[in-house]
């Protein structure tokens, strides 16, 4: 529990840090809340005065009542306007704070190392930025709308009640704190429940996201029933923890209302005795009963706010946990890599995703400008990992990688990656036009350059058949385009950028054989004079490579061109022959 309290205090401090940016609006909102409270509490005084003007049936002082009623109408109108402006201020503060937190969260996602993204479900990250932020906004808005007004109402009613009768005020003050103790006790129990609810909601979002994105595979392997069972299990846990959290939080309001009704009864009984003795007018007693109701009402509201804030703080804690994740090492102040010549060297490189599971050990490699380096080997040998290291998506645990003699840790990531053109087996297209997807690396490219790149990549013909050609809008991940068409668009991007170094990771895996032959010819032109790294499982596609690296268990076990490796009759020869055996 101590850890929980420490976490809550820490989260509250971070929230206040964001609110501090809108201090002027906050102060103005508090002033309006004070004005609203004063006017609201002044209204029972006017009503009491009006009641005292009614002496008996047929004996009503209309001359005195009229100005009192007029003042009452003005007070109600000013109160309504002040509350309206106060709500506008509160909404502005709340949604500006949520906007800032969401922006910081999204900015952090852009700077997080890939190992964090790879090790966390995408749906959970999305749930933090969307669902948790929304839940936090609701709690924060309720806090602004009711907390300040409630506290000021309590203080104001105390002052007004003391001016009417001290002894009746003491009855109210002595009994009312019981509701605070009840609310505090319940709030202390609900924080952990709301935290569990938020985490389970994130787990459910992650599962739904995974299943929707892979629905074809799910249906192809008849996994729908198993998915339903998994979803039902997560859904049942979410239902259970949500019901517990809501049940305990919903006890607060009835419990505090019970205490408040005791207060009201105590005031009515005590006030009646005092009025009978002639020490209090009927109008004053009416005002006092009104104050007793207004004094206890904020305790109900504040107790509701406290339970909502427990949920909001639990959601905020998950957001801040994301925002405060360790970003990738900064390269601010490092020099840019100019247009590379293509010298690449790996010197005693060690790397593993999990420290206990060794992957790449003491890898050494020297690549000269213009060389075509093919990387082959069985699944899990480290081919894609080597690409991740070259692009600096991950940093080696030991050793260094140099481009043109410069350690890639000592240059900016942006300039390093700008010197590579990359086509992966997994395509990625954003929602937008065909042209926007092609020009992602060169937004300033002319239409002629885009068309020339598309023709070189053999994508121009299918693009022209689309409804609006290059202006055709496609959805996320390519919409209705085939896998082969999506891959051709990714190849077109590279043809447009013409970087000095290339990385092709199964770049033609989804393309038909005839198109692949034409693409290979286009790649041959593109690779001429450019350092190229080619990952391929179909070994027939890399026979023309200058050097073939054969990897196994994170090590280069054979190295040479196709003919020399076949003559060696080693592991490469076994792999190659296995693809052409009967």
Structural domain contains residue 478 = yes
If phi over 0 gives left and psi between -120 and 50 gives alpha, with beta otherwise, what is residue 512?
Answer: beta
Nearest partner of 12 among 106, 151, 143, 105, judged by Cα: 143
* Averages of pLDDT over each 10 residues, the chain, 582 residues: 52 84 88 85 77 65 79 89 89 88 87 80 81 82 74 79 75 71 69 78 82 72 80 88 79 71 74 73 72 71 68 83 83 84 88 82 86 84 83 88 90 88 79 87 88 87 89 78 81 85 77 72 77 79 81 82 87 80 50
End-of-domain residue from the set 288, 323, 358: 323
**How is 78-147 classified by DSSP, letter by letter?**
HHHHHHHHHHHHHHHHHHHHHHHHHHHHHHHHHHS-HHHHHHS-HHHHHHIIIIIHHHHHHHHHHIIIII
One domain for residues 541 and 430: yes
* Sign of the dihedral through C-alpha 91, 92, 95, 101: negative
Tell me the CA end-to-end span of the chain in Å, nearest whole number: 68
Same domain for 91 and 37 = yes
Q: 339 lies in a domain?
A: no
Asked if residue 425 lies in contact with residue 346, where contact means CB atoms within 8 angstroms, the answer is: no
Residues 547 and 441 in one domain: yes
* Residue carrying the six token digits 């509201």: 301
In total, how many domains does the chain have? 2
Shared domain for 353 and 382, answered yes or no, is: yes
Q: Domain containing 204 — which CATH number? A: 1.20.1560.10
pTM to 2 decimal places: 0.65
Q: Give the C-alpha separation, 349 to 360, whole Å.
A: 7
Neighbours of 66 (CB within 10 A): 12
8 Å CB contact between 343 and 369: yes
Q: 162 and 17, same structural domain?
A: yes
Residues with Cβ within 8 Å of 142's Cβ and at least 6 positions away in sequence, in order, are: 304, 305, 308, 309
323, 357, 391: which is the final residue of a domain? 323
Domain boundary among 323, 357, 372: 323
Give me the pLDDT at residue 9, please.
62
Strands 59-60 and 54-56: antiparallel
In this structure, is residue 205 part of a structural domain? yes
Together in a domain, 63 and 194:
yes
What's the confidence (pLDDT) of residue 81?
Answer: 93
Going by C-alpha positions, the residue among 504, 443, 514, 510 that lies closest to residue 478 is 510
- The reply to whether 297 and 350 lie within a common domain is no
Buried b (16+ CB within 10 A) or exposed e, 491-504: bbbbbbbebbbbbb
| CATH (domain of 461) | 3.40.50.300
DSSP state of 396: -
Question: What is the three-class DSSP state of 366?
Answer: strand
One domain for residues 314 and 349: no
The closest alpha carbon to 402, from 435, 368, 447, belongs to 368
How far, in Å, CA of 333 to CA of 194, rounded?
Answer: 43
> Do 267 and 179 lie in a common domain?
yes
Let me know if residue 354 belongs to a domain: yes
What HEC string does 531-555 produce? EEEEECCCHHHHCCCCEEEEEECCE
CB 29 within 8 A of CB 144: yes
Q: Is residue 67 in a domain?
A: yes
Burial 407-438 (b: 16+ CB within 10 A, else e): ebbebbbebbbbbbbbbbbebebeeebbbbbb
Q: Is 335 part of any domain?
A: no
Does a structural domain hold residue 129? yes
Domain that holds residue 525: 344-579
DSSP assignment of 402-452, as one string?
Answer: EETTEEGGGS-HHHHHHTEEEE-SS----SEEHHHHHTTS-TT--HHHHHH
Whether 354 and 317 map to the same domain: the answer is no
| Same domain, yes or no: 305 and 453 | no
At residue 125, the pLDDT reads: 83
Statement to judge: residues 304 and 404 lie in one domain: no
In a domain, 271, yes or no: yes
């Amino acid at each position: 529990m101590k850890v929980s309290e420490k976490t809550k205090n820490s989260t509250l401090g971070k929230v206040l840090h964001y609110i501090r940016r809108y201090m002027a609006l906050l102060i103005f909102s508090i002033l309006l809340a004070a004005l609203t409270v004063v006017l609201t509490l002044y209204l029972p005084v006017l009503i009491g005065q009006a009641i005292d003007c009614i002496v008996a049936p047929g004996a009503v002082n209309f001359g005195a009542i009229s100005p009192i009623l007029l003042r009452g109408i003005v007070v109600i109108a000013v109160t309504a306007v002040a509350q309206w402006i106060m709500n506008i201020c509160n909404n502005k503060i709340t949604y500006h704070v949520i906007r800032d937190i969401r922006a910081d969260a999204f900015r952090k996602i852009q700077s997080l190392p890939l190992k964090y993204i790879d090790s966390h479900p995408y749906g959970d990250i999305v749930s933090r930025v969307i669902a948790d932020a929304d839940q936090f906004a609701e709690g924060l808005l309720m806090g602004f709308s009711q907390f300040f007004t409630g506290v000021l109402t309590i203080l104001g009613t105390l002052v007004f009640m003391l001016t009417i009768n001290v002894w009746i005020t003491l009855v109210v003050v002595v009994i009312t704190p019981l509701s605070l103790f009840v609310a505090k006790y319940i709030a202390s129990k609900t924080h952990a429940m709301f935290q569990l609810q938020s985490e389970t909601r994130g787990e459910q979002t992650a599962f739904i996201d995974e299943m929707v994105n892979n629905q074809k595979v799910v249906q192809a392997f008849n996994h729908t029933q198993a998915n339903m069972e998994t979803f039902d299990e997560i859904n049942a846990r979410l239902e259970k923890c949500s019901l517990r959290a809501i049940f305990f939080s919903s006890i607060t309001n009835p419990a505090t209302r019970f205490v408040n009704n005791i207060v009201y009864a105590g005031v009515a009984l005590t006030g009646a005795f005092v009025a009978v003795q002639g020490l209090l007018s009927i109008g004053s007693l009416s005002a006092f009963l009104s104050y007793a109701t207004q004094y206890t009402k904020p305790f109900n509201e504040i107790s509701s706010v406290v339970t909502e804030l427990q949920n909001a703080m639990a959601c905020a804690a998950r957001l801040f946990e994301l925002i405060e994740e360790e970003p990738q090492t900064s390269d601010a102040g490092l020099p840019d890599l100019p247009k590379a010549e293509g010298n690449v060297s790996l010197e005693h490189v060690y790397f593993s995703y999990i420290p206990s599971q060794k992957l790449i050990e003491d890898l050494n490699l020297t690549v000269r400008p213009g060389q075509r380096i093919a990387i082959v080997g069985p699944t899990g040998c480290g081919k894609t990992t080597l690409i991740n290291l070259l692009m600096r998506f991950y940093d080696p645990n030991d050793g260094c990688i140099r481009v043109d003699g410069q350690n890639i840790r000592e240059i900016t990531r942006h300039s390093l990656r700008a010197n590579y053109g990359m086509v992966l087996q997994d395509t990625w297209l954003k929602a937008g036009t065909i042209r926007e997807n092609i020009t992602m690396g060169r937004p300033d490219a002319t239409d002629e350059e885009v068309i020339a790149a598309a023709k070189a990549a053999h994508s121009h013909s299918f693009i022209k058949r689309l409804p609006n050609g290059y202006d055709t809008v496609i959805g996320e991940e390519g919409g209705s385009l085939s896998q082969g068409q999506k891959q051709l668009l990714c190849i077109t991007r590279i043809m447009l950028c013409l970087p000095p170094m290339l990385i092709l990771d199964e770049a033609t895996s989804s393309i038909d054989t005839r198109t692949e032959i034409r693409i290979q010819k286009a790649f041959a032109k593109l690779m001429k004079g450019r350092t190229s790294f080619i990952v391929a499982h179909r070994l027939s596609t890399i026979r023309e490579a200058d050097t073939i690296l054969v990897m196994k268990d994170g090590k280069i076990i054979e190295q040479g061109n196709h003919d020399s490796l076949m003559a060696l009759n080693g592991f490469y020869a076994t792999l190659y022959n296995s693809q052409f055996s009967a």
